[in-house]
């Protein structure tokens, strides 16, 4: 594996509620997780399985609330088979999601400028032009691809969600001292993806960590815990299931790093139903020593 040049930027939530340089972890943690998953999703859409992307927090001096993040990319496979020139690099991924100091439009700015309107999209030699009422915006085709992806849009909505809290006014992204993009609390509503509301919705969460909560199974479903809740997940990874049948060991509290599908439906009685499925087990390990369980 070969690592590409990382890019560093910061995320700043600001407002009267944050004057003491503190923020509720219940607001901050999901927002940062959504940002990391948004980069995972963008990398998957634009690069496939050719490279992995990682978003890490960098420690800052005491008293500062700025969150420094390092986005790095690792090339998968034989180094001679793929060139970095063929990939959307870490810095380019940051640009298509957030933007650049020179004002090149990324996904966040595009959503802001469209103000929640449903645009027409016209392909041009330079990219994609979005038109809605008196708004006309041209962007790179990769930005348009992310704009049209429900999962990416839902994850970006999760990043701006803390702005719904009283006293949190702005969210800014910076590269050193240069502002990449700023979202105001009055603009949060623009970030809600309005697709076909009545149809079933599938959300893919890449690289989620789940812990085996029970060794009881029902109808192909495993009881797994995401750290907050325990739910039944359909195990839909045939490769992983085949490895279990061939003798792969697993046990209580093992960790699975996996791509997870959440399918939301509106039932005939008007109630919502949410089903979970593990689409792909990327890694499986045991935290510490424990007695393994061998499937029959």
Nearest to 42 by CA among 111, 143, 166: 143
Side-chain half-sphere of 81: how many Cα atoms within 13 Å?
A: 7
Q: Count Cβ atoms below 10 Å from residue 81 Cβ, excluding itself.
A: 9
Give residue 101's pLDDT.
Answer: 74
Comparison of pLDDT for 105 and 73, the residue scoring more: 105
Does residue 133 fall inside a structural domain?
no
Q: Which of 139, 173, 144 is nearest to 55 (CA)?
A: 173
The dihedrals phi and psi of 51, each to the nearest 5 degrees, come to: -150, 150
pTM: 0.63
Per-residue pLDDT, 86? 37
CA pair distance 227, 211, nearest whole angstrom: 8
Please check whether residues 39 and 103 belong to one and the same domain. yes
Rounded to whole angstroms, the Cα distance separating 240 from 283 reads 10
pLDDT for 221 equals 95
Q: How many domains does the chain have?
A: 2
Lowest mean pLDDT among 48-57, 143-152, 218-227, 287-296: 287-296
Task: Report d(CA 201, CA 269) in Å as an integer.
Answer: 18
Exposure b/e, 168-181, CB count within 10 A at least 16 = b: bbbbbbbbeeeebb
Same domain for 45 and 179? yes
pLDDT at 84: 33
Instruction: State whether the Cα torsion 174-182-141-146 is positive or negative.
Output: positive
Q: Name the phi and psi angles at 104, rounded to 5.
A: -65, 135
- Per residue in 188-204, pLDDT tens? 999 987 765 445 566 77
Residue 118 lies in a domain: no
Separation of alpha carbons 276 and 232, rounded Å: 7
The pLDDT of residue 170 is: 92
Using the 3D structure, point to which of 165, 191, 217 is the last residue of a domain.
191
Residues 97 and 176 in one domain: yes
- Averaged over 82-87, what is the pLDDT? 39
Mean pLDDT of the chain: 82
**Domain closes at, from 191, 214, 245:** 191
Give pLDDT, residue 231. Answer: 93
Largest distance between two CA atoms of the chain: 65
Q: Would residue 258 be called left, alpha or beta, if left means φ above 0 and alpha means ψ between -120 and 50 degrees?
A: beta
For residue 50, the enclosing domain spans: 2-113+146-191
Mean pLDDT of 121-129: 89
Structure tokens at 162: 């803390």
Average pLDDT over residues 209-216: 92
Q: How confident is the model at residue 88 (pLDDT cuts 50, 70, 90)?
A: low
């Amino acid at each position: 594996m070969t690592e590409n040049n990382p890019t560093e930027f910061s995320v700043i939530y600001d407002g009267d509620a944050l004057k003491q340089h503190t923020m509720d972890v219940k607001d901050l943690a999901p927002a940062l997780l959504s940002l990391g998953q948004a980069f995972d999703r963008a990398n998957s859409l634009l690069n496939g399985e050719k490279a992995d992307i990682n978003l890490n927090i960098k420690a800052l001096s005491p008293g500062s609330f700025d969150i420094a993040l390092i986005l790095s990319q690792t090339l998968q496979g034989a180094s001679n088979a793929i060139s970095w020139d063929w990939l959307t690099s870490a810095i380019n991924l940051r640009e298509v999601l957030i933007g650049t100091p020179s004002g090149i439009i990324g996904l966040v700015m595009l959503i802001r400028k469209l103000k929640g309107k449903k645009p027409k999209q016209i392909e041009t030699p330079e990219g994609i032009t979005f038109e809605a009422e008196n708004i006309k915006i041209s962007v790179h085709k990769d930005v348009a691809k992310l704009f049209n992806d429900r999962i990416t849009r839902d994850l970006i909505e999760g990043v701006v969600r803390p702005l719904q809290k009283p006293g949190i006014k702005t969210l800014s992204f910076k590269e050193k001292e240069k502002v990449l993009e700023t979202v105001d609390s009055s603009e949060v509503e623009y970030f809600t993806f309005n697709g076909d509301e009545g149809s079933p919705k599938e959300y893919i969460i890449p690289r989620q960590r789940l812990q085996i909560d029970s060794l009881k199974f029902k109808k192909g479903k495993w009881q797994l815990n995401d750290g907050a809740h325990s739910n039944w997940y359909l195990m839909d990874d045939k490769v992983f299931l085949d490895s279990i049948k061939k003798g792969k060991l697993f046990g209580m509290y093992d960790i699975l790093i996996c791509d997870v599908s959440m399918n939301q439906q509106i039932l005939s009685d008007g109630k919502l139903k949410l089903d979970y499925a593990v689409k792909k087990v990327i890694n499986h390990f045991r935290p510490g020593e424990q007695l393994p369980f061998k499937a029959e």
